[in-house]
Amino acid sequence: MKLYSNEEKTFSDSEIKELKNIFKILAITLKACLTHEQLVIETEKRKEVQKALERSERKYQWWLKICLKESL
C-alpha cells in the first residue's frame, strides 16, 4: 500500500504505521501541554481573585472599625 509517493521517496506500510504513531504521540503531547497551560492560567486567575477578595475584606474590616468607633 502506498499512502504517499513522490520521486524521492515511497513510504512502506511499516513506515506509514510508524509515522502515524509519531503523530498520535505528538497530538497527545500537545493536548497535555495545552491542558497544563490552561491549568496554569486558571490557577493564576484564582490567585488574583483571592488577592482581590482579601483586599476587599481588609477594606470592609477597616470601614467596620470606623463605623463602630463612631457609633460609640
Query: Cβ of 18: how many Cβ atoms within 10 Å?
Result: 12
**pLDDT surpasses 90 at 58:** no
HSE-up of residue 27 (Cα within 13 Å, Cβ side): 6
**From CA 11, how far away is CA 17, in angstroms rounded?**
10
Specify the pTM: 0.52
pLDDT in tens, 29-46: 999 999 999 999 999 999
pLDDT in tens, 9-31: 677 889 899 999 999 999 999 99
pLDDT of residue 10: 76
